A = this chain, B = another copy of it.
Amino acid sequence: MATIRDVAKQAGVSVATVSRVLNSNGYVNEDTRVKVTEAIKELNYLPNDVARSLFKRRSKMIGLILPDITNPFFPELARAVEDVANETEYTFVLCNSDNQMEKEQQYLTALKQKYIDGFIVVSSTLTTEQVHELNVPVVALDRIISPHMPSVSVQNYEGAQEAVQYLIENGCQKIAHISGPDYVDNAHARKQGYLDMVRDKDWYEDGLVVDGKYELDPAKKAATQLLEQHPDVDGIFVGNDLMAVGVLKAAEALGIKVPEDLSIIGFDGIALGETTTPALTTMGQPIYDVGSKAAELLINYIEGIPSVHSNHSFGVQIIERETVKKGGV
């Protein structure tokens, strides 16, 4: 591999001049520029990013730390971040944390040693102090670590309320909720949205809220139990689509017809919901936009471009498919 010194020799100039040509910095005479450009071409020279990073103390890399890329919510998010990274010539590093703080910490410090420029994190465990002492730009995604840290999320509370309202408008008489884990703030917000809509109904009781852990099988089990104990439930607002699929499976196994006997509405709008039978009605969030906005925010942050909103919250919109029986009260 040719180095900048080889190019300098070939072009009969100094390395400084070659560097100036490479970076379009400072003064370079047009003839010299041409000579250097030719030498670069002849030698097939590509600058060494590692040497550049060492001097600049930055690497043109960003990291995305998320629980598990295997969870169907995340691929679209990851894709969005990668697209922005690619456009802006950043390298995209993907990290699966399995929601373990220890793994998150390992990624954070290991990548800091590589001069990574910033992180987008989907985490429920990371604290403001940890991020602060890391001293690397971080944008929180989908979950808010602290109001003082840039973040991108969606209107979970309002969306949950709308979802419940939608069930009510379509004639549901008793609506249950399968929730995500309480320590995940968006799960908590969605549950609150549900509760604030139903708490004062005469049919409401505490047993209508059960934890589905944001996963398919636990949600299926939880829904089975719920539906056996409360056969009069005719609507379920499920905390995310993955769990909603589990609920669908539970209803199927119990011989409960969806949507005739039971209406189900999920949250997220992942592609998986389109492939079930019946197809899942859900409160969709603009997943791709969320991801790309986070990436933009991070890169602006890194490059010192001030952003108008550092806590960005997207709206959500209902996607009407086949798991809610249409018809008013």
* Contacts from A to B (Cβ < 8 Å): 46-51, 53-54, 59, 61, 68-70, 72, 74-76, 78-79, 82-83, 86, 89, 91-96, 109-115, 216, 245, 248-249, 252, 271-272, 275-277
Contacts and interface: CB of A to CB of B under 8 A. Distances in A.
A106 to B, nearest CB: 8
A223 to B, nearest CB: 14
> Which 4 A-B residue pairings sit nearest by Cβ, starting from the closest?
A277-B277, A49-B113, A94-B94, A49-B114
A91 B110 contact: yes
Nearest to A71: B75
A94 B69 CA distance: 11
**How many identical subunits does the complex contain?**
2
A109 B46 contact: yes
7 contacts: A46-B109, A49-B114, A50-B54, A53-B114, A59-B114, A78-B94, A83-B96
Contact of A47 (B47, B70, B79, B113): B113
Contact of A92 (B82, B86, B93): B93
Given A75-B75, A78-B94, A93-B92, A50 B276 contact: no
A92 B91 contact: no
Q: Among the interface residues A48, A49, A50, A68, which one has the most CB atoms of the partner chain B within 10 A?
A: A50
Given A91-B114, A275-B272, A50 B46 contact: no
